[in-house]
Amino acid sequence: MASVSLSRRFEPAKLMRLADGLAVATAISVPWSTSATLILMALWLIALIPTLSWAEVRRELLTPAGGLPVLLVVLGVAGMLWADVSLHERWKGLDSFLKLLVIPLLFIQFRRSDNAERVLGGFALSCVVLLVASYVMVLWPHPVRLFSNDFGVPVKSGPSQSGEFVTCIFGFTYLAYDAVVRRQWRWMFALAFVMLAMLANILFVATSRTALLIIFVLLALFALKQLRWRDTLILFAATAALLVVAWFSSPYLRERTTQAWTDYQSYVASDARNSSGERIEFAKRSIAFIKEAPFIGHGTGTIPSLFAKATAGQDGAMGSMTTNPHNQTFAVAIQLGLLGALVLWAMWLAHLWLFRSGGLIEWIGLVLVVQNIVGSLLNSHLFDFLQGWIYVIGVGVAGGAALKRRAADTQRTP
């Protein structure tokens, strides 16, 4: 009798519902807490794994979108064999890759679940709450402190916060445009208000130069995917006008955008140690490391030791030590060579292809992939905790839903 009761308690249908709920909770936690995200992901795995079948796992592993992330992890494991660093450093390097294993599992889950929009909506609502908390800190800066010392940033960092808002802005952009088409004006104005509040936060409170670049790329992508040429002209005229107003009304925005050029001039003139100079040196050294081991790299976890040896005894920007080359392709190629970089880009292209169709879910997936690719030109976003998990969860959930819809369309086609 006890065994029967236990089997009923852990019926696959109940576990699948629990896994869906935990996926929603994880998405809500991502903007706020690293620890909560990891705990909820562990609970999600415990709930999901008993519901999986080998046929489902095999199906995803044999597709480019599901198999290439796993292949990149496998290369990361193999890279531990030829890395000339301690076992601890090898494991620490592998940790950056492991989250990619979640992508095919989410594909499986959301091929059979109807709750993908709840997961993505949970993340969006969590970011709206973060937006409110940010403005509370702006209005009452002294008595309000959460887990960040940055002005107007309740948790984590300004670039992280602005990146999350960019993701939401372009998800809401699709919904707002759809509301215009359907003449749902109240819904459109509500979305526009939230979008403008997030954009104002990026421009006046926590500006990220990477986020600004991503905004321009995603605007062009939205125009290409959704708008007629006349609407595109209106969109870019409105954007230009908004930027002019923001530029002249936000000293903070002007300082953040011009600082890159002044830092570069200081670096060229005197090897000054600043953000621009350090990034240039990171790129130079990364290319040199890749040339030393072009095919299979130096091994997993070797980035810190390579930079430590290269910067020993150096001053200024040339002496800047890092564990992060601030470019995702470099971060993979240094460790796994051009082979690893090829798999990385093949994965990105496979995920772009996955979201080639129209629809809200496909648009959100496309935004996440493009944002990660563009951001990874200036950062190692897949290996960063926040941006990496946003990519993994977002692409996994949206990809599973897109695959489910595609399979249903195929069945309906005579």
Residues 6+ apart with CB under 8 A from 46: none
Distance CA(379)–CA(57), nearest Å, equals 31
pTM score above 0.85: yes
Residues 6+ apart with CB under 8 A from 251: none
Residue for token pair 């997030």: 198
Question: If you write DSSP's letter for every residue of 3-53 in order, what string do you get?
Answer: HHHHHHHT-HHHHHHHHHHHHHHHHHHTTT-HHHHHHHHHHHHHHHGGG--
CA angle 390, 105, 364 (to 5 degrees): 40
Return the pLDDT at 241.
87
- What is the CA 269 to chain-centroid distance, rounded? 35
Angle between helix 303-311 and helix 275-292 axes, rounded to 10 deg: 110
Task: Return the DSSP state at 100.
Answer: G
The list of the chain residues with pLDDT below 70 reads: 1-10, 141-149, 263-264, 267-274, 276, 313, 315-321, 412-414
Task: Answer whether 301's CB lies under 8 Å from 93's CB.
Answer: yes
How confident is the model over 14-68, as pLDDT tens digits? 999 999 999 999 999 999 999 999 999 999 999 999 999 999 999 999 999 999 9
How confident is the model over 147-175, as pLDDT tens digits? 666 788 898 888 899 999 999 999 999 99
Q: Which two tokens stand for residue 353?
A: 């292809």
Query: Could you give the residue ranges of the DSSP H alpha helices within 184-302?
Result: 185-204, 209-226, 229-249, 251-270, 275-292
Return the pLDDT at 143.
52
Task: Answer whether 157's CB lies under 8 Å from 148's CB.
Answer: yes
Return the pLDDT at 292.
95
Distance CA(260)–CA(212), nearest Å, equals 13
Distance CA(88)–CA(309), nearest Å, equals 18
Distance CA(352)–CA(124), nearest Å, equals 21
Return the pLDDT at 75.
97
Sign of the Cα torsion 313, 276, 206, 372 reads negative
Return the pLDDT at 147.
62
What is the four-CA torsion angle of 219, 223, 225, 228, rounded to 10 degrees? Answer: 170
Residues 6+ apart with CB under 8 A from 312: none
Return the pLDDT at 244.
85
Task: Answer whether 255's CB lies under 8 Å from 267's CB.
Answer: no
Question: Would you call 224 exposed, middle or buried from its count of C-beta atoms within 10 A (0-12, 13-18, 19+)?
Answer: exposed
| Phi, psi for residue 193 in degrees, rounded to 5 | -60, -45
